[in-house]
């Protein structure tokens, strides 16, 4: 029996004055290095708020949560805004259980995430 291929794709773009990382697949210990590389690449040139879109993530474990918490801290130290797009469902439940919805600015769509990231700069 062949092992299942675990994948994670991260697409980076500039959208309406913020940096967007659109994540697709599974965000866990196996795919963490790929996510870390994408975040590091974004941080190298970050001069606008960062929004991480998890709308297409099928699974996320505590490794993914820790990565996003560290990303938030790094962005905050740089004086930039940060928010996460995560519609209601199993992935948003991870943030709810960890009580991180408000602190990580988890939003149901890109428009509200962009607004939250922009507000976070002023906070």
Distance CA 84, CA 67 (A): 12
The encoded tokens of residue 17 equal 């004055």
Is CATH 3.30.750.24 what the domain over 8-122 is classified as, yes or no?
yes
Domain range summary for the chain, segments of one domain joined by +: 8-122
pLDDT single digits (tens) 29-45:
999 999 999 999 999 98
Distances (CA, A) of 3 to 29, 57, 103: 16, 20, 37
- Whether the per-residue pLDDT at 2 is higher than 90: the answer is no
pLDDT tens track for 5-16: 569 999 999 988
Q: What's the pTM value of the predicted model, to 2 decimals?
A: 0.93
């Amino acid at each position: 029996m062949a092992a299942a291929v675990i994948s994670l794709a991260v697409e980076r773009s500039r959208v309406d004055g913020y940096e967007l990382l659109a994540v697709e697949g599974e965000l866990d210990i196996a795919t963490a290095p790929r996510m870390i590389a994408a975040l590091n690449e974004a941080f190298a040139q970050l001069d606008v708020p960062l929004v991480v879109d998890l709308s297409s993530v099928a699974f996320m474990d505590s490794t993914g949560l820790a990565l996003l918490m560290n990303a938030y801290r790094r962005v905050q130290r740089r004086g930039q805004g940060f928010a996460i797009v995560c519609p209601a469902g199993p992935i948003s439940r991870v943030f709810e259980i960890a009580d991180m919805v408000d602190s990580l600015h988890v939003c149901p769509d890109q428009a509200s995430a962009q607004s939250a990231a922009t507000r976070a700069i002023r906070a």
